């Protein structure tokens, strides 16, 4: 935490305790809204609500809300009256306002929309039609565009008059039916003669996305072409909105966090639950219970080999290392494939290469780890055959695990199940089972040398 913020936090806490509401309001007027939002991480729920109620200007309140999670923002607003809420939301960009309205209780949302100016509520209701994770769901509709038959002079005139539009740096050009036909930079306008018609100077090859494109896909387009904003069009190429790169950054962060959480069987919705342990546990349990039955299945397999184990009790010393290493290697391969799918670096065309690479890598690592653990087993239990059995089982188990690590997420992707969440329990259980099978099958085969 930065020292500046630390001091601010302490001041605000002190003032809250003293009930010095006037001073807090004055202080909040002087802080960047992003910094106010940042402080929310460190406040408890009561302080969060109190602080929010003390923000005087609706613009600042709106900016703070836009920085916070939308579900959380909705909860902060619920404490206010419908009129207050509608004023704050009308001071926010429509896309953020729509996301918050979506998270309000239905009655309250309807009331708030009713209280707004028709113009505002219509825009917001329009945005509510789109899927939350689609280009339409994250676009801003306050977009500045110019007709292609304007002259440069007229264009500059309308830029001077325009206000309240999201940062203007690309100027989108449309035809008379509002179809997107070109793009210009503001700087370009300044470098041609004032009488030029936009149609003659604009760049016709505009990169755009459709309203129904998935937000991850949008992020990839923006990233690939290194653009600062991408216009959003409907199926007939009508200009509907704009997605700026700061929204794209949020998408990239969110999706990365989501994938990381999912691979561990956690859930990014937890972030909204604060310290509600029961709700968090409920989110994580289905994944854990799946793993639990995988573990029981592995145990059942071991039980089938109980005679072998009773005969050669030394075999138990290598159960954890064989199942553990299979899980690790499988996890590595699965991670590479899942992340590759997410970033677009791996697709079905390049998958075969990845599979063969991971198989080779798994085999090489399997030989190294097999030799290592084999020598350990030989030295420890003074039996070269035990070393051989353990080493061989480890090598085979690791090679199989690497293969499985590629195949399982691919399979889940093909059948339309998110590989990030399904891969781990499946890979782990499959690897435990094959590891144990290979280990005890080899051991049973060589049983006379092990006793």
Residue list 392-431, contact with a copy of itself (CB under 8 A): 428
Cβ 255 to a copy of itself shortest distance, Å: 9
Q: Vertex 17, ends 11 and 18: CA angle to 5°?
A: 90
Cβ 115 to a copy of itself shortest distance, Å: 28
Q: How distant is the alpha carbon of residue 449 from its chain centre?
A: 53
C-beta of 305 vs 412, nearer to a copy of itself: 305
Any idea which residue has 């309807």 for tokens? Answer: 110
Q: Is 329 in the site for a copy of itself (CB under 8 A)?
A: yes
Q: How distant, in Å, are the alpha carbons of 71, 318, 425 from that of 285?
A: 23, 29, 12
Q: Is 339 in the site for a copy of itself (CB under 8 A)?
A: yes
Q: Is 156 in the site for a copy of itself (CB under 8 A)?
A: yes
Among 265, 384, 411, 446, binds a copy of itself (CB under 8 A): 265
Q: By CB under 8 A, what part of segment 21-80 binds a copy of itself?
A: 32, 34, 38, 41-42, 67
Q: Is 210 in the site for a copy of itself (CB under 8 A)?
A: no
Name the β-bridge partners of 134: 214
Q: Is 193 in the site for a copy of itself (CB under 8 A)?
A: no
State the binding string over 291-320 for a copy of itself (x if CB under 8 A, else -).
Answer: xx-xxx-xxx-xx--x--xx--xx-xxxxx
φ, ψ (nearest 5 deg) of residue 230: -130, 130
Total site size for a copy of itself, rule CB under 8 A: 110
Q: Is 272 in the site for a copy of itself (CB under 8 A)?
A: no
Choose the binding region for a copy of itself from 53-61, 111-119, 219-227, 406-414 (rule: CB under 8 A): 219-227
Cβ 223 to a copy of itself shortest distance, Å: 5
φ, ψ (nearest 5 deg) of residue 254: -60, -45
Gap between the Cα atoms of 343 and 353, Å rounded: 17
Cβ 322 to a copy of itself shortest distance, Å: 8
Sign of the dihedral through C-alpha 33, 39, 40, 45: negative
Cβ 422 to a copy of itself shortest distance, Å: 15
Among 324, 382, 414, 445, binds a copy of itself (CB under 8 A): 324
C-beta of 104 vs 413, nearer to a copy of itself: 413
Among 87, 145, 284, 411, binds a copy of itself (CB under 8 A): 284
DSSP assignment letter at 209: E
Cβ 199 to a copy of itself shortest distance, Å: 21
C-beta of 39 vs 240, nearer to a copy of itself: 39
Which of 315, 337, 329 minimizes the C-alpha distance to 369? 329
CB 407 within 8 A of CB 338: no
Choose the binding region for a copy of itself from 47-55, 111-119, 232-240, 341-349 (rule: CB under 8 A): 341-349
Name the β-bridge partners of 417: none
Residue 368 CB neighbour total at 10 angstroms: 13
Gap between the Cα atoms of 95 and 81, Å rounded: 22
CB 8 within 8 A of CB 39: yes
C-beta of 249 vs 445, nearer to a copy of itself: 249
Gap between the Cα atoms of 238 and 180, Å rounded: 6
């Amino acid at each position: 935490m930065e020292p500046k913020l630390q001091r601010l936090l302490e001041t605000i806490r002190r003032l809250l305790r003293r009930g010095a509401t006037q001073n807090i309001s004055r202080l909040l007027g002087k802080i960047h809204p992003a910094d106010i939002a940042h402080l929310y991480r460190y406040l408890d729920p009561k302080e969060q609500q109190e602080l929010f109620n003390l923000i005087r200007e609706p613009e600042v309140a709106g900016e703070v809300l836009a920085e916070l999670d939308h579900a959380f923002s909705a909860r902060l607003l619920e404490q206010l009256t419908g009129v207050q809420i509608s004023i704050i939301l009308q001071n926010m960009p429509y896309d953020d306002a729509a996301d918050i309205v979506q998270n309000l209780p239905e009655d309250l949302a309807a009331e708030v929309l009713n209280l707004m100016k028709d113009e505002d509520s219509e825009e917001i209701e329009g945005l509510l039609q789109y899927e939350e994770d689609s280009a339409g769901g994250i676009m801003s509709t306050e977009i500045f565009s110019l007709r292609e038959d304007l002259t440069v002079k007229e264009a500059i005139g309308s830029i001077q008059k325009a206000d309240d539009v999201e940062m203007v740096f690309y100027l989108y050009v449309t035809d008379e039916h509002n179809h997107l036909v070109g793009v210009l930079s503001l700087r370009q306008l300044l470098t041609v003669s004032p009488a030029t018609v936009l149609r003659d100077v604009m760049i016709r090859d505009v990169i755009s996305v459709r309203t129904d494109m998935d937000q991850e896909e949008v992020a990839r387009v923006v990233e690939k072409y290194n653009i600062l904003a991408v216009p959003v069009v409907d199926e007939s190429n009508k200009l509907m909105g704009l997605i700026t790169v700061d929204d794209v950054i949020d998408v990239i962060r969110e999706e990365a966090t989501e994938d990381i959480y999912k691979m561990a069987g956690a859930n990014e919705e937890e972030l909204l639950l604060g310290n509600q342990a029961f709700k968090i546990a409920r989110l994580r349990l289905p994944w854990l219970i799946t793993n639990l039955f995988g573990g029981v299945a592995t145990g059942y397999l071991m039980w089938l080999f109980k005679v072998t184990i009773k005969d050669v009790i030394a075999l138990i010393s290598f159960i954890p290392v064989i199942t553990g290493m299979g899980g690790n290697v499988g996890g590595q391969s699965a991670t590479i494939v899942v992340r590759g799918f997410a970033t677009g670096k791996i697709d079905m065309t390049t998958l075969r290469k990845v599979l063969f690479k991971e198989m080779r890598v798994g085999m090489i690592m399997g030989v190294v780890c097999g030799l290592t653990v084999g020598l350990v087993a030989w030295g420890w239990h003074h039996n070269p055959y035990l070393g051989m059995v353990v080493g061989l089982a480890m090598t085979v188990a690791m090679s199989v695990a690497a293969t499985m690590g590629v195949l399982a997420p691919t399979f889940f992707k093909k059948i339309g199940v998110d590989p990030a969440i399904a891969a781990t329990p499946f890979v782990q259980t499959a690897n435990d089972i094959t590891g144990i099978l290979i280990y005890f099958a080899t051991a049973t085969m060589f049983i006379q040398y092990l006793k």
